[in-house]
Each structure stands twice: as structure tokens, then as C-alpha cells.
Structure 1
């Protein structure tokens, strides 16, 4: 899975593989979100504010696992 750096004050990189969205934060945490539709991933990557899109459409909507 390839993590792509993003321009955001909160998110540092985003990856997507087999329905799982991976988000790395500037604070150092890496989280995965299960069963995320590809359309949501694409919308996140094209959003003007990735942090706002993440908060409104992903955070607290999908099963989350913290990795580090």
C-alpha cells in the first residue's frame, strides 16, 4: 500500500487498499478505516480541505484501528 503525502494542517499522508483507508497525521498517529468506499477516498483526495472532509465524512463513520 502506497501512502501519498497530502497538503493539510492535520493529515500528512493518505493510502487506500482493498476498501481500507489509511491516514497518517502530523501528530504521528497512523489509523486505518475499514469498509470505506473508493468514492469516499477519491473525494477526500480531491477535497479543497482534506482535514475538513475527513472530519465531516470519515472520522467517527467507519471502524477505526490505531497502528502507532
Structure 2
């Protein structure tokens, strides 16, 4: 039985008992992932190593290349 079958069964049971239907599978996945990311960043800041992202790293590398003499000369 996959998640959709379980949801349909739970919805049927909820309707039989007059209860509200459960949320659709996957409806809160994005929120859970964001919460996990935010918690990981928070723990990193508490540990004294501020979270940095890929964009910040890419910008730092690009600026470093621009500062090097002769960089970009073909």
C-alpha cells in the first residue's frame, strides 16, 4: 500500500466517524525541509561557524579571480 492508498483509506474512515480528513501526503514536505534547514543553520551559528551558502562561496571565488593579476586575460 502506498501513501495515496493509505490517505484514501484514512479519508474514508474519517468520513465514517464524522472527523476531519487528514492532510494530503506531501502537503507539508517543503515546510519540513525548510524547518530542518533553518535548525541546521541555527545550530551552526551557535557553534560559532555561521552558515554560508553556495551563492556566497561562488561570489567569493569570483571576486578572488578578479583580484588576481592577469586573471581573465586570454
With the length of structure 2 as denominator, give the TM-score of the two structures. Answer: 0.22
Structure 1 or 2, whichever has the larger Rg, is 2
With the length of structure 1 as denominator, give the TM-score of the two structures. Answer: 0.23
Decide which structure has greater helix share. 2
User: Which structure's relative contact order is higher, taking Cα pairs within 8 Å and 6+ residues apart?
Assistant: 1
